[in-house]
Structures are given as C-alpha cells and as structure tokens.
Amino acid sequence: MANRPVLAPQLRRLRRELFSSPGDGVLSISLIVLIGLVAIGFLRWAFGQASWAVIQVNSTLFAVGRYPIEQQWRLWLLTALLAAATGLSWGLLRASPRPDRTGTLWPRHDRLAVVILVLGALWLPWALRLAALIQLRWWLVVALLVGCRWAAGRFAAVLPSALRRLVPLLWPALYLLGMVLISGGLGLVTVPPSEWGGLLLTLLAASFAILLCFPIGVMLALGRRSDLPLLRWGSVLYIEFIRGAPLITLLFLGQNILGFLLPGGLAPERIWRAAWVLTFFAAAYLAESVRSGLSAVPPGQFEAARSLGLSYGQTLQQVVLPQALRVALPAMVGQFISLLQDTTLLSLIGLLDLLGTARTVMANPAFLGKSAEVYLTLAVLFWCCCAALGLGSRALERRLDPHTIPSAT
C-alpha cells in the first residue's frame, strides 16, 4: 500500500470513472479506439483528400453574397465597429465578475476564450489562403476586439458610472448604424437587398427576427392572459393560427401571395418579407414561452404590487416581467437558436442565405462533388453562431440569477 505511487487526483478520478471494473475497462478502451479511428479518418480526409479551394475561392460569396465589391468597405467598417463594441462590453462585464451558484468565477473560461479566439483568427484566414489584404483585415479586427476588451477591463474602475450606463445603448445604436451601412442611404450608395447574401443575409434575417419577435411575443403573452375578450381571443387566434402552419408555407405565402394582394411596387423587398414572416412566426412561439414564465410568477406577487399602489404598467415592469422573463429565458434562447437555423428555409424560396449560397456554389461545374467540404463549413459557421447565442444567454442568466452576489461594487 505504502509503496504504491500516488496518482494525481485527476488520474485517480479518470481511473475511477473509466476503469472501475474489467467490463468498464473493455468498454472504455473500445470506445476510445473507435473515437480515435473516427478522428484520424476525419483528419486524414480534412487535410489530405478534401479540397478546400471551393471555400477559398467562394469565401466572399459565403460571407456577403453578391454585395458589390467596391462597397464592401462598409461591411468591414461594420465588422470593426462590432468587434470594438464586443470587446468593450466583454471587458466591462469582466471587470465586475459574478460567481455562479457553484462559486466558480467566469474568468478562467474567459481567458481560454481569448486564446482560442486569437489562435483561430491567426490560423483560419491563413489556412484558407485568403488574400493577404483580407487576412490582414481579419487580424486587425481581432486585435481591435482584444484591445478593446483589455482597455475596458483596465479602465473600467475609473470610468464614471453615468458613462458605463450608456454602454448597453451602444448596441441598438450600432444595429441602426449597421442597417444604414448595409443598405445605404444618408449619402451612401444604395445596395438593394437582392444583392445581400451568405452569412450577412442569414445573420441579418435572424437578428431582425430575434429582436422584433421579443416585444411582439411579450405583448401576445400578456394579451392572452388579458381580461379583455377581444385582446385575449385575438391573441389566442393569432398564436394558434401561426403555430398550426408550418414555417415554409408561411414563407411561400409571404413570397407569392403578397404580390397578388398589393398593387405593384407596394410590396416590400422579398428579403424583408421573409424576415417579417420569420418574426411573426417566432413571436407566436415566444409568446407561449413568456406565458409559461408569467404562469410561474405567483398571483400573490401581482396582487401585492397592485395593493401597494403600483399601476398595471409599473407592476408588470417592476415585479412580474423580470421574474417571468428570467424563468422563460432558457426556453426563449432555445427558440432564438432554432430561429437562426430556420433561416436556412430561406434557401427554399430562392433567397441566397448561407445554405442558398452553398447550393448555388455546389451547382457550379467547377465545384461539382464538393458538397462535403461546403456542408462542413456551413455546420461550423452555424455552430459558432449558435454557440455565441448560447454563451451569451448563459452569461445573462447568471446576471439575472438573484442568488449570485456581486463580488465587488
């Protein structure tokens, strides 16, 4: 016993969990071998057989679709601004960390995230052999992000609190500015929506729908619980109608029927039509999530607030909705993620979102038979977007959790 080498706690834990009995050991080893074989096969394919030229040559198409090349500086500017804002918000959030219920702090994962981000940004543009100028731009964007994060963390303490309260307003302002930069106007050349595509279109449609479906969904949920019959039945009818129809039929309706109903020229661009359909569709589902949150708030809360003299609006705003939305948050984020993935249906109505672009690229005789590479790239891109949404929501949950205590103020 005594001369047995003392295993590190991690190793001991590994042994306990994977090799506690002979049967366990056999199972573990065969699984490890299997996973290893799959991984080796995949790596051999990815670095040996796969030809990534299809991604490299079409990288602009995948990123922004047919957006005119001479106007693409606007998108780069927007990317840089987004990176700066992300770095700023990230750094400020980091400056006042909050432990979650288990007491672990965010920072450890945080530092890991920075390292992964920087390595990815250094390696990916190089691996894809993008043009030198574009590689440089990506590095600058990432440098800006990391720099802003560092600066915000460094100077957060000296920042006046009035200024810090303005930071969340940065995002809506940036969104509006982004819309102007993308579509033109205010002295910029107009780029018609029919020329937007790829990741740009996917993110635009998804963010538009996510932002707008939230207020509509909350109002529908409140409407469904209202005492006014017209409001209640209106909300029920809307929610049940939308939930009873598949998204693709609604998209087809929006694309093909509006032209019959409205005289020529009055119907909005079809990208906006599709974005509105996504919004209205998601709102119906979101309303039910919010309603579940509202049901979780005990009626006593509402009555207590009212008896304290708060108005209906104040009660909702100060007492009921904060609790309800906290309960509904995980379900809502799940819907946002599925909404992001639902945007791939836009390819079926002839829009060139990420999937639509991918199909178009794969139809080009120069890239026939390259579907594995293209679909894998798409999967990675979507995974990144969904992971970002998921991470953001978990951070938000932690912020809203009443059991976390601000560590320092």
Partner 1 sequence: MRLPARFRNQLPLRCGACHWRTLISALSLTLLSAALAAFADEGAGSGGVASPRLAAIQSRGRLICGTNGQLPGFSVLEPDGRYEGLDVDLCRALAAVVLGDAAKLELRPVSTNDRFASLASGEVDVLSRNTTLSLTRDAPGGNAISFAPITYYDAGGVMAPRREGVRSLAGLAGRTVCVVSGSTNEAVMADRMRLLGLAYTPLRFQNADQTFSAYQSGRCSAVTSDRAGLAARRSLFPDPQAHELLPETLSKEPMAMATQQADPVWSDAVRWIVYAVMQAEEWGITRANVATRLKEARANPDAAELRRFFGVEGDLGRQLGLPDDFTYRAVAAVGNYGEIIDRNVGLRSSLRLERGLNQLWSRGGLIVAPPFR
Does residue 270 belong to the site contacting partner 1 (CB under 8 A)? yes
Residues 233-252 that bind partner 1 (CB under 8 A): 252
Rounded distance, CA 293 to CA 116, Å? 36
Neighbours of 78 (CB within 10 A): 18
Rounded distance, CA 217 to CA 223, Å? 10
Q: Which residues of 103-127 are buried (b: 16+ CB within 10 A; e: fewer)?
A: eeebeeeeeeebeeeeeebeeebee
Residue 256 or 407: which CB sits closer to partner 1?
256
Residues 352-381 that bind partner 1 (CB under 8 A): 352, 356-357, 359-361, 363-366, 368-369, 371
DSSP H helix total and E strand total for the chain: 18, 0
Rounded distance, CA 352 to CA 343, Å? 11
Helix (H, G, I), strand (E, B) or coil at 65: coil
Does residue 76 belong to the site contacting partner 1 (CB under 8 A)? no
x-marked contacts with partner 1 along 167-206 as a string, rule CB under 8 A: -------------------------x-x------------
Does residue 51 belong to the site contacting partner 1 (CB under 8 A)? no
Does residue 67 belong to the site contacting partner 1 (CB under 8 A)? yes
Q: Which residues contact 293 (CB under 8 A, 6 or more apart)?
A: 323, 324, 325, 326, 327, 328, 331
What's the closest the beta carbon of residue 209 comes to partner 1, in angstroms?
21
Residue 36 or 68: which CB sits closer to partner 1?
68
The correct pick among 69, 133, 186, 228 for binding partner 1 (CB under 8 A) is 69
Q: Which residues contact 160 (CB under 8 A, 6 or more apart)?
A: none
Residue 160 or 265: which CB sits closer to partner 1?
265
The correct pick among 33, 38, 245, 257 for binding partner 1 (CB under 8 A) is 257
Does residue 61 belong to the site contacting partner 1 (CB under 8 A)? yes
The correct pick among 263, 300, 309, 402 for binding partner 1 (CB under 8 A) is 263
x-marked contacts with partner 1 along 271-290 as a string, rule CB under 8 A: --------------------
Residue 87 or 356: which CB sits closer to partner 1?
356
Angle between helices 73-95 and 132-155 in degrees, nearest 10: 30
Angle between helices 354-363 and 371-400 in degrees, nearest 10: 170
Q: Which residues contact 139 (CB under 8 A, 6 or more apart)?
A: 121, 122, 125
What's the closest the beta carbon of residue 55 comes to partner 1, in angstroms?
11
Rounded distance, CA 250 to CA 257, Å? 10
Closest C-alpha among 166, 185, 171, 151 to residue 81 = 171
Which DSSP string do the residues of 75-116 spell out, in sequence order? Answer: HHHHHHHHHHHHHHHHHHHHHS----TT---SHHHHHHHHHH
What's the closest the beta carbon of residue 281 comes to partner 1, in angstroms?
18
What's the closest the beta carbon of residue 373 comes to partner 1, in angstroms?
12
What's the closest the beta carbon of residue 237 comes to partner 1, in angstroms?
20
Does residue 63 belong to the site contacting partner 1 (CB under 8 A)? no
Residue 79 or 347: which CB sits closer to partner 1?
347
What's the closest the beta carbon of residue 263 comes to partner 1, in angstroms?
5
Residue 48 or 365: which CB sits closer to partner 1?
365
Q: Which residues contact 49 (CB under 8 A, 6 or more apart)?
A: none
- If you search the block for the tokens 């619980």, which residue do you land on? 225
Number of residues that bind partner 1 (CB under 8 A): 40
Residues 316-355 that bind partner 1 (CB under 8 A): 348-352
DSSP-derived letter for residue 192 is -
Does residue 133 belong to the site contacting partner 1 (CB under 8 A)? no
Q: Interface with partner 1 by CB under 8 A: which residues?
A: 57-58, 60-61, 65-69, 192, 194, 252, 255-260, 263-266, 270, 348-352, 356-357, 359-361, 363-366, 368-369, 371
